[in-house]
Amino acid sequence: MPCPSARSDPGRDWTGVERLQDQNRLELCFPATEAAASAAIATLALRLGARGLTEERAADVKIALAEAVNNVVEHAYAGLEPARVRVECRLRPDRLDILIWDTGRPLPGLRVPAGEPASVDRDLQDLPEGGFGWFLIRQLSSAVGYERRKGWNRLSLRFDLGGPRGHNKAPNQPSCRRKGGP
Amino acid sequence: MSLSSRVAGTTQVITVGADRIDAAMAIQFKEDMRAETEGGPERVILDLSAVEFIDSSGLGAIVAAMKQLGGGRRLDLAGLTPVVEKVFRLTRMDTVFTLYPTLDDALSERAE
């Protein structure tokens, strides 16, 4: 469950401070700006890396986390007064759960997008410059969940860690077929 | 955004001095790349060896940088660190750009 203070007062209680409840739980709350998100993602990745995730899995987590947080900053709060984003990481021996809360707009259709990758099989000038975020999130995480409740969005990302924070299983296969390539 | 540029023969080498290219700096990166590459040599090598992290916004900015070079010019990438390489591979942008393990490889065109 979300931390009561954050849930009851998402906009004011948290001022970008990091809260470490215990060894296996990490929380960070920050303003929904690109600069604050960039710093927060770097901090969280560093902290998680220090807790024994393999370098490769820590990288997966960082990429997926960055895409999820960027979505909040760029889309959920688009055109709104940016409020805050809260990220909570819960680390267990076999899995890492990351919960991301915001008070922005809900996801369209109250659903996690399918995350079809933008096609790169096209002429140079038509190449996509975006549209990879949800694809990367789905590729790198083991499961993605979403809940809208009382003005809150909660996105949950699960990362399975094989063994005691050791090597993970292969990332989820994409829901779409990759053309060509290995 | 910290970019440094030098011309080696018919090739321009642009080195990214930042440790990440993400949403917070993607627009600046694109603008700085435009300024650096205006009217330069046909081939541009982007040295990414200092970049430890990239997100899809940063990836999009590199694609945009290649587009704005215009026809007949090309942007090659060198020195991709593991996370950067992974983002290129997952999005299949590794099929769009020529990637070189190091800047030296790029200068001598030894593709990986």
Sorted by where each starts, the structural domains of chain B and their CATH numbers stand as 3-107 (3.30.750.24)
Mutation site for B-interface testing, chosen from A56, A61, A62, A120 by largest number of B Cβ within 10 Å: A120
A49 touching B, CB under 8 A?
Answer: no
DSSP 8-state class, residue B9: T
Rounded to the nearest integer, the mean pLDDT of chain B is: 94
User: What's the pLDDT score for residue A117?
Assistant: 87
Per-residue model confidence (pLDDT) at position A174? 43
Q: Which of B87, B89, B109 minimizes the C-alpha distance to B100? A: B109
**Span A15-68, pLDDT tens digits:** 444 555 567 889 999 999 999 999 999 999 988 888 888 889 999 999 999 999
Q: Which residues of chain A have pLDDT under 50?
A: 1-17, 164-182
ipTM field: 0.92
Q: How far apart are CA A18 and CA B98, in angstroms?
A: 41
Q: What CATH number should be reported for the domain whose range is A13-111+128-160?
A: 3.30.565.10
The whole-number pLDDT of residue A16 equals: 47
Instruction: Test A42 with B59 for CB contact under 8 angstroms.
Output: no
Which amino acid appears at position B48 of this protein?
Answer: L
Our CA angle for A7, A12, A15, nearest 5°, is 105
Q: How far apart, in whole angstroms, are the C-alpha atoms of residue A154 and residue B89?
A: 29
pLDDT score of A30: 95
Per-residue model confidence (pLDDT) at position B91: 96
**Which residue is listed with tokens 């694109």?**
B30
Cα separation, A43 vs A169, in Å, equals 25
Region of A46 please: left (phi>0), alpha (psi -120 to 50) or beta: alpha
**Greatest pairwise CA separation for chain B in angstroms:** 34
For residue B112, the model assigns a pLDDT of: 54
Q: What percent of chain B has pLDDT over 90?
A: 88
Distance from CA of B100 to the nearest CA of A (A): 18
Q: CB of A120 within 8 Å of any CB in chain B?
A: yes
Check residue A163 and give left, alpha or beta (phi > 0: left; psi -120 to 50: alpha): left
Nearest to B63 among A55, A56, A129 (CB): A129
Question: How much is the pLDDT for A51?
Answer: 85
**For residues B37 and B14, is the Cβ–Cβ distance under 8 A?**
yes
Residue with the bigger pLDDT between B90 and A15: it is B90
| Residue A49, pLDDT score | 86
Tell me whether B68 touches chain A (CB under 8 Å). no
Count CB-CB contacts under 10 A for residue A180: 7
| pLDDT band with cut points at 50, 70 and 90 for residue B77 | very high
Helix axes A55-71, A34-49, angle to 10 degrees: 160
pLDDT of residue A15: 40
